[in-house]
Structure 1
Amino acid sequence: MSSRRNFLKTAGAAGALGMAGLSGCIGNFGEQSYGNGEINFMMSPSEPQDYMRSQYKPYAGYLEEETGTTVSLKYAADYSAVLQGLGSGTADIAETGPFAAALGVKADKAKIALQRHAYGSWDYTSVIVTKKDSDIDSLTDLEGEKVGFADMTSASGSLYPLYMLKQAGLTIGEAPVSDSGADFTGVWSGHAEAFAALENDQVAAAGVGQFITRDDDGELADGYEYVETYDGIPRAPMVVNPNLSEEEKNNIVETLQDAPDEIYYGADGEPDTDDDLWFDSVRPAGLKTYKPVIKVADELNLSTDLLNQG
């Protein structure tokens, strides 16, 4: 699998709006029609549209072939649009982040169906990282300092770091919407951008996913140290329209669970290239798996309104 960290460093989290579909013969999944006779697969705007289409083309193609139902890939304008699509029935399945999924479940706009596996595990780690030569020895040392974060809706790059800061006794104010009332100055961008800001001494620390802090050997980059870490965040799920029947949901879940490795290799069909998907398998999951994420969302008093920000 190619390095997601390397891609993020060069591409950032840019994206364009728009929709397009995979062509194919219209058919039915058994006796299920999925509303308009096709399965609408929605992608969250976490990376550039063309890049994500290249990644997911064989994934959607496999789902189409196995179900006999046209699969349409859609690129959402924002995370709120993902939940709106699921809640309104214009999307049947979506890939999204843990917090967006948690907020969708809270708002009855999504049902968790699958958990993704990557980099050898089903969960991952959020970190608050600083430079070894800094004066930051604990989270309380960040009072009055500038802290970089990833996108405000990122689990590992914003929400868990804020949770760690709050648990340490710092006031987070209106974060992640803004840093008003917070004991620190917050700057939200992306994982790569936040870590680069730390590298360039523009922030005293960065709250990011651990993956962005590692070198090519998988070790923490030279010159840096973790102030705090939070392990065990369940990796990003796939969610479905809550109005799908159990048969419709289970057919999708079982099909993707049994998918061959090749569908993760991207449009070029070759492993370990730039268009590989960042994950390599999925397993059935439900609300229980993501209860820790929902707990943090509640602790930070977050709602789906957060997804309309930015």
Structure 2
Amino acid sequence: MSDRRTFIKTVGSLGAAGLIAGCTGTGGDGGGGDGGGSTPTATEAPTATEGSTEAPESTATPTATEGSTETAVPFNDGRLTFYMSPSEPQQLMQAQYAPLQSYLEEELGVPARLQYAAGYSAALQSLASGTGDVGETGPFAAALGVANDRCEIILQRYGYGSWTYASVIATQEDSDIESLTDLEGERVAFADRLSASGALYPLYMLQQAGLDIGDLPTDTGSAAFTPQFSSHAEAFAALERGQVAAAGVGQFITLNDDRELIDGYRYVETEEGIPRAPVIVSPELSDEEQQSVTEAMLNAPDSMYLGEDGEEGTDDDLWFSDLREASNETYQPVVEVANQLGITTELLDG
């Protein structure tokens, strides 16, 4: 898109080498705030390997591009591939996104498939190569992807009554941790390294409190505390099991069905106002294809958000309930936090 160059210029000290990347597990930035997620359990949600299992493909017939002298192949290979961030178990996410798959097939006139990504980095790599067309990530991962020509931002998602959400550093209610400085020498759990609410903002909060974060989130051995990265759900589950002193996660993973903090926990620090997770597209798509996806999703019926069973208020509802157009500038606050941390992108391919 035309504003990519401007966006990269505003990254400032992040430089041409860029921000950070490479991580395993989930970001949740693609699920409930970053991206989403359900109430955590002690069992980690299964994650697919890099090349993951895909949903059954449709038999819809690809259409040719108008005005061409040859039969054009839309969406790179004649079908649209949507990458889901692994914020919840694969089977549940397949049910959540099934109406979206069917709707995009009907609106765009091409077969569509759902792909369960191994993580944000894997999704970005697929979009950059053109093997993926549309996807969801967290704000930080999307900003990195734009800065490294791996994606374009087209939409922002709305969920839980707001276009923004919060990052928290949580501990158990009876913990001795009263302030962030008490975490020196302790083990702290985080979500995906590319997660805005589960890594970037918690690290920013720790740094602002005066703790040495070393070269995190790239190098895990130089901080004043011992970090461990996984997913929002697993990070909070590690806190539940008493394996860590605190967890830096998206606030959404710490809430019960009534949107209140789960009993037995408290927040040490909170950072609000993070722009909710985007929908991104491959830079290999034409402007017309990007626009067609944007318009289709903006004009989607309410039923697209209700999951496979078509009923509101059930487990297979999408975590978000609306979309609006977005651009790189929408996520500039996230870039500025990364800039203040001096983060680089050397792990984007790792």
TM over 0.5: yes
CA distance in 1, matches of 2:141, 2:220: 21
1:272 partnered with 2:313 = yes
**Following TM superposition, by how much is the alpha carbon of 1:48 offset from its aligned partner in structure 2, in angstroms?**
2.8
* AA of the residue aligned to 1:15: T
**Following TM superposition, by how much is the alpha carbon of 1:279 offset from its aligned partner in structure 2, in angstroms?**
1.2
The structure where helix makes up a greater share of residues is 1
CA contact (8 A) 1:137 1:227 kept: yes
* AA of the residue aligned to 1:165: L
SS at match of 2:38: helix
Q: In structure 1, what is the equivalent of residue 58 of structure 2?
A: 23
Judged with a 3 Å threshold, the aligned counterparts in structure 2 of structure 1 residues 35 and 193 are, in CA distance, closer, same or farther, namely closer
CA distance in 2, matches of 1:203, 1:108: 36
RMSD of the TM alignment (CA)?
2.4
* AA of the residue aligned to 2:153: I
Q: In structure 2, what is the equivalent of residue 103 of structure 1?
A: 144
Residues matched between the structures, number: 307
- Give the alignment of 1:1-310 within 5 angstroms: 4-6=37-39, 8-9=40-41, 12-16=44-48, 17-28=52-63, 31=66, 33-307=74-348
CA distance in 1, matches of 2:341, 2:208: 11
CA distance in 2, matches of 1:50, 1:57: 11
* Runs of at least 5 residues in structure 2 that lack an aligned partner in the other structure: 1-31, 67-71
CA contact (8 A) 1:26 1:69 kept: yes
CA distance in 1, matches of 2:259, 2:205: 24
CA contact (8 A) 1:153 1:306 kept: no
- The structure with higher relative contact order (CA 8 Å, sep 6+) is 2
Residue range with higher mean Cα deviation, 38-47 or 265-274? 38-47
CA contact (8 A) 1:103 1:297 kept: no
CA contact (8 A) 1:118 1:280 kept: yes
**Following TM superposition, by how much is the alpha carbon of 1:137 offset from its aligned partner in structure 2, in angstroms?**
2.5
CA distance in 2, matches of 1:244, 1:287: 17
**Following TM superposition, by how much is the alpha carbon of 1:201 offset from its aligned partner in structure 2, in angstroms?**
3.2
State, as a whole percentage, how many aligned pairs show the same letter: 56
SS at match of 1:268: coil
Q: In structure 1, what is the equivalent of residue 16 of structure 2?
A: none
CA contact (8 A) 1:95 1:237 kept: yes
* AA of the residue aligned to 1:231: E
Judged with a 3 Å threshold, the aligned counterparts in structure 2 of structure 1 residues 173 and 15 are, in CA distance, closer, same or farther, namely same
**Following TM superposition, by how much is the alpha carbon of 1:18 offset from its aligned partner in structure 2, in angstroms?**
2.3
Encode CA deviations 1:226-266: one digit per residue, 9 max, x unaligned: 22111011111111112333222111111101111111122
Judged with a 3 Å threshold, the aligned counterparts in structure 2 of structure 1 residues 196 and 89 are, in CA distance, closer, same or farther, namely closer
CA distance in 2, matches of 1:247, 1:4: 32
CA contact (8 A) 1:29 1:67 kept: no
Judged with a 3 Å threshold, the aligned counterparts in structure 2 of structure 1 residues 9 and 291 are, in CA distance, closer, same or farther, namely same
CA distance in 1, matches of 2:222, 2:76: 46
Encode CA deviations 1:91-125: one digit per residue, 9 max, x unaligned: 22111122211110110111100111111111110
Judged with a 3 Å threshold, the aligned counterparts in structure 2 of structure 1 residues 218 and 18 are, in CA distance, closer, same or farther, namely closer
Residue range with higher mean Cα deviation, 32-41 or 116-125? 32-41
* Runs of at least 5 residues in structure 1 that lack an aligned partner in the other structure: none
CA contact (8 A) 1:178 1:186 kept: no
Q: In structure 1, what is the equivalent of residue 22 of structure 2?
A: none
CA distance in 2, matches of 1:80, 1:199: 27
